[in-house]
Amino acid sequence: MSTSDLSRAQMMSRGAAATAIIDDIHAPSATVITPSVLFVDQSGQLGGAEFSMLPLAVAWVARREVLLLSDGPFRSRLESQGVKVHLTLDHGVSRIRKEGVRLGWLGTLPGIVRQVRAIARQAEDFDVLFLNTQKALVLGALGKPLHRKPIIWHLHDIMSREHFGVMQRLMVKWLTRYAVDGIIANSHASAASLVALTDCRPEAVPVVHNGVDVREFSSVDADDIGTLRRRLGLPEGVYLAGLFGRLAPWKGQHIALEALARMPDVHLVLVGSALFGEQRYAESLHRQAARLGVADRVHFAGFRDDMPAWMKAVDVILHTSTEAEPFGRVIIEGMAAGRPVIAAAAGGVVEIVRHRKNGWLVEPGMPALLAEAIETLRAAPELAQRIADQALNDVMQYFSLDGYLAQMKRAMVAVTG
């Protein structure tokens, strides 16, 4: 069934239990039907895509459940907030990487078929299938002849050759044309990359930027930075830069280490771990720090659950991705923490950061320029504070959680008619 087939009357006839009628926040006079949704995500780990789906699944007013293709902390987060989670696991399918197709893939075919069927079976009880990741897209959309439900794909990626292999790009092209009913992109950069890949109309890929709950940041008591740092085991009385996010080559933690080597008395805390098989890179960072002679000024904190506290404990927040970032949640989180953010100017980042106004933009992959930016903000605390204040205002205005949820809901309801 295509989206156009799913008329309002049909949805109502599927039973009141499956749908809820509520007033849309931005259109109080109009009554809209909220469809029941099966959310599907390939990851059990917590990355940007999962953190953006979490509040959406939690707040969805109609019946909704989540199907994960891997187990991990994402499941417990969802469950602890009252969301029912199903798992369908296949070791072979989990190991398929987005970058390239190997002949070994043939061996995973039975697993792929099993997962396609498992998703289709779960989808039968819902009005809509919401696919949150690349693998969820492929497996969920391939099963469309079985489940025949409208499909919404939340695009969190830049569909470029740098990020994806030929086969994945071909699959996306084909599936978005023939099986997906609605796409929502997390940035104009992600949307543009899909338009370039598929030749679809730009209007077919609406953009909804991520949002964060500023209250989670304002509730951290950071008046006494010394106490906060002591609690987190961070050095007191030093100028401290923070880099937040999973350890992966394209996230550019090595660029921050090189920049640090140019600034003798600055410290750096790296918060995050290797989530998707980037263990070797994580180890190389320790070796690089030792080689550069900065190991005593680099603090590896690992994955942390309490980002607001860690962000508020630093003087400046760095974003160092060497490739275009699809969105960069850590940037709006840093802004919500009221800290100046220095970010690599590529992809979705330039949709968030206005240079010298609400943040500081640097050319990606350039340690010397990064060090210069850090030194500039360090030497001008009033400028840094002005930027941080504006950043906080901008987050509240343009990247709030409530705004995000309302826009997502509107876009999702639009897909289902």
User: CB-wise, 126 or 404, nearer to ligand UDP?
Assistant: 404
> Of the candidates 272, 347, 364, 365, which one interacts with ligand UDP according to CB under 6 A?
272
Q: How far is the CB of 207 from ligand UDP (least distance, A)?
A: 15
CA angle 294, 339, 212 (to 5 degrees): 115
Q: How far is the CB of 55 from ligand UDP (least distance, A)?
A: 11
Please spell the DSSP secondary structure of 256-286, one letter per residue: HHHHHHTSTTEEEEEE----SS-HHHHHHHH
Q: Output the residue with the shortest Cβ distance to ligand UDP.
A: 48
> Of the candidates 40, 191, 243, 307, which one interacts with ligand UDP according to CB under 6 A?
307
> Of the candidates 63, 154, 246, 409, which one interacts with ligand UDP according to CB under 6 A?
246
User: CB-wise, 143 or 328, nearer to ligand UDP?
Assistant: 328
Q: How far apart are CA 41 and CA 46, in angstroms?
A: 11
User: CB-wise, 157 or 181, nearer to ligand UDP?
Assistant: 157
Binding flags for ligand UDP, 47-66, as an x/- string (CB under 6 A): xxx-x---------------
Q: How far is the CB of 329 from ligand UDP (least distance, A)?
A: 4
Q: How far is the CB of 48 from ligand UDP (least distance, A)?
A: 2
Q: How far apart are CA 124 and CA 210, in angstroms?
A: 29
Residue written as token pair 């209007």: 203
- Residues in contact with ligand UDP, counted by CB under 6 A, come to a total of 18
Query: Edge to edge, what strands does the sheet with 128-131 contain?
Result: 84-87, 64-68, 37-41, 128-131, 151-155, 182-185
Q: Per the structure block, which two tokens stand in for 292?
A: 């550069």
Q: How far is the CB of 231 from ligand UDP (least distance, A)?
A: 16
User: CB-wise, 126 or 244, nearer to ligand UDP?
Assistant: 244
Q: Find the part of the chain contacting ligand UDP (CB under 6 A) among 25-33, 42-50, 93-101, 190-198.
A: 42-50
Q: Which residue type occupies 300?
A: F
Query: Edge to edge, what strands does the sheet with 341-344 contain?
Result: 298-302, 266-271, 239-244, 316-318, 341-344, 360-362
Q: How far is the CB of 330 from ligand UDP (least distance, A)?
A: 4
User: CB-wise, 47 or 111, nearer to ligand UDP?
Assistant: 47
Q: How far is the CB of 188 from ligand UDP (least distance, A)?
A: 15
With H, G, I as helix, E, B as strand and everything else as coil, classify residue 248. coil
> Of the candidates 53, 57, 271, 350, which one interacts with ligand UDP according to CB under 6 A?
271
CA angle 308, 60, 85 (to 5 degrees): 80
Q: Find the part of the chain contacting ligand UDP (CB under 6 A) among 17-25, 79-87, 240-248, 337-345.
A: 240-248
- Residues sharing a CB contact under 8 Å with residue 74, sequence separation 6 or more, in sequence order: 41, 43, 44, 45, 46, 50, 54, 68
C-alpha to C-alpha distances, 320 to 20, 102, 121, 287, nearest whole angstrom: 43, 31, 42, 19
User: CB-wise, 11 or 240, nearer to ligand UDP?
Assistant: 240
Q: How far apart are CA 100 and CA 167, in angstroms?
A: 7
Phi-psi region of 365 (alpha: psi -120 to 50; beta: other; left: phi over 0): left
Q: Find the part of the chain contacting ligand UDP (CB under 6 A) among 101-109, 238-246, 289-297, 392-400.
A: 238-246
Of 319-348, binders to ligand UDP (CB under 6 A) are: 327-330, 333
The answer to whether 42 touches 66, Cβ cutoff 8 Å, is no
Of 78-107, binders to ligand UDP (CB under 6 A) are: none
Q: How far apart are CA 6 and CA 179, in angstroms?
A: 15
The answer to whether 70 touches 96, Cβ cutoff 8 Å, is no
User: Any contact of residue 74 with ligand UDP (CB under 6 A)?
Assistant: no
Q: Find the part of the chain contacting ligand UDP (CB under 6 A) among 2-10, 23-31, 128-136, 299-307.
A: 299-307
Q: How far apart are CA 258 and CA 263, in angstroms?
A: 9
Q: How far is the CB of 220 from ligand UDP (least distance, A)?
A: 14
**Interface positions with ligand UDP (CB under 6 A):** 46-49, 51, 244-246, 271-272, 303-304, 307, 327-330, 333
